[in-house]
């Protein structure tokens, strides 16, 4: 089985990830996780998320992947036992202390080795397998040849990142945040110093040391052939629109690969969709070769968030064909949009007359989170989304 693994920063995003095609999600608790600034999950939230996932025959993995200092160990045994009791499917860890605890406590949940462990060779994989690891999350710096050799030599269950932010250092080895701000990136406090714009003196151009994002759309078929088991998307702090768009896109890529229907036109189309969803450029990074200047930002960059996400479908009346939508960005009568959602192929539509929640006709929807209505012949379902029509598969045929 090929797994599509989504980030989830809270329960809402967990549910959207599953609705839009994820087979599993990874989440962080309120402690021991590397995304301290995310909302994260309480024990009750984790329990609710696991119950929801298992009702769909899907999985939840919990990150316990900080580098543990002495005071971080307080309460960890009780936490791990609670996760096991709840029925969490796996913990993702980087510290050998937690791997040892997994053995000592006899936990039923699987042990997955985090990308923070920077695994890039088969001997390291064998070592972690000897400690009970069921899966290895390879470092983002793994090349095609690295992945293939590791798979051939170990037969391990391998998880690889396919989309999202990169680290300017080897994953799990950065101390820039700690040095510059006293916030420890390996304990969840990274401030992303690598994305700062530096101006050493007035005579020099401002510069950065920022890597472009990871995007492996064109490499998914080869990764499947090599034997990658899980395709991981980065972004526990991203929006529901980002998660829905990226997960639905990779779901279609994986499915089309497996049924031999993925064409060059679809690859270009999916690339275009993903390029509009994020506000940074992207590249395959280390998969084909070592990154060059073309995979980095050095002399500044522009990160302009678009306003494609127009609204979230709340309700659809089949008799009156009336859509109720919660607005996210401005739209008006005559706007050409497209709908996409769970079990809904992307469909184009031109908006007609718009009404507010009190059924008053309005010239535009201009109040984010406002409730609006309009007629539509396309049968929509709650939690589908409406975005601007910018890209058409016919442009790539």
Q: What is the pLDDT of residues 45-104, one digit of tens each?
A: 999 999 999 999 999 999 999 889 999 899 999 999 999 999 999 999 999 999 999 999
pLDDT at 372: 98
Phi-psi region of 354 (alpha: psi -120 to 50; beta: other; left: phi over 0): beta
pLDDT at 315: 97
pLDDT at 176: 79
In angstroms, the CA 85 to CA 113 distance is 21
Pairing status of strand 3-7 against strand 230-233: parallel
Pairing status of strand 157-164 against strand 213-215: antiparallel
Structural tokens at position 224: 């499947």
pTM, 2 dp: 0.92
pLDDT at 392: 86
Structural tokens at position 163: 């989309």
pLDDT at 177: 77
Residue among 185, 129, 134 at smallest CA distance from 159: 134
CB 333 within 8 A of CB 354: yes
Neighbours of 47 (CB within 10 A): 18
**What phi and psi values does residue 155 have, to the nearest 5 degrees?**
65, 15
Residue among 141, 289, 283 at smallest CA distance from 214: 283
pLDDT at 147: 96
Residue among 191, 190, 188, 235 at smallest CA distance from 34: 188
| Segments in the chain below pLDDT 50 | none
pLDDT at 169: 75
């Amino acid at each position: 089985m090929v797994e599509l693994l989504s980030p989830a920063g809270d329960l809402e995003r967990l549910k959207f990830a599953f609705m839009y095609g994820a087979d599993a999600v990874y989440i962080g608790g309120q402690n021991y996780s590397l995304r301290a600034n995310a909302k994260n999950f309480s024990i009750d939230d984790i329990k609710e998320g696991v119950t929801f996932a298992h009702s769909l025959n899907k999985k939840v993995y919990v990150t316990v992947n900080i580098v543990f200092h002495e005071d971080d160990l307080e309460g960890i045994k009780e936490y791990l036992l609670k996760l096991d009791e709840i029925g969490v499917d796996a913990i993702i860890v980087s510290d050998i202390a937690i791997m040892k605890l997994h053995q000592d406590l006899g936990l039923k949940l699987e042990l997955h080795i985090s990308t923070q462990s920077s695994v890039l060779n088969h001997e390291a994989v064998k070592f972690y397998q000897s400690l009970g690891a069921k899966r290895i999350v390879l470092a983002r710096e793994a090349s095609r040849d690295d992945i293939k050799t590791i798979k051939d030599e170990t037969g391990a269950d391998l998880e690889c990142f396919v989309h999202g932010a990169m680290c300017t250092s080897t994953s799990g080895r950065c101390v820039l945040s700690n040095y510059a701000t006293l916030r420890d990136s390996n304990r969840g406090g990274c401030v992303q110093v690598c994305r700062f714009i530096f101006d050493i003196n007035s005579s020099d151009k401002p510069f950065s040391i920022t890597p472009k994002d990871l995007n492996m759309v064109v490499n998914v078929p080869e990764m499947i052939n090599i034997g990658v088991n899980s395709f991981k998307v980065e972004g526990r702090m991203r929006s529901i629109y980002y998660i829905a768009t990226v997960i639905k896109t990779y779901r279609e890529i994986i499915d089309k690969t497996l049924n031999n229907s993925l064409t060059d036109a679809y690859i270009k189309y999916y690339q275009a969709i993903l390029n509009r969803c994020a506000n940074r450029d992207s590249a395959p990074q280390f998969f084909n070769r070592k990154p060059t200047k073309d995979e980095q930002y050095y002399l500044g960059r522009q990160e302009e968030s678009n306003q494609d996400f127009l609204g979230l479908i709340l309700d659809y009346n089949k008799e009156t064909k009336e859509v109720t939508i919660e607005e996210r960005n401005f739209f008006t009568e005559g706007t050409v949009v497209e709908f996409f959602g769970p079990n809904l192929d992307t469909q184009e539509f031109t908006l007609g007359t718009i009404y507010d929640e009190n059924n008053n006709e309005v010239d535009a929807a201009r109040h984010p989170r406002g409730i609006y209505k309009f007629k539509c012949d396309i049968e929509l379902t709650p939690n589908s989304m409406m975005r601007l029509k910018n890209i058409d598969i016919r442009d790539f045929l």
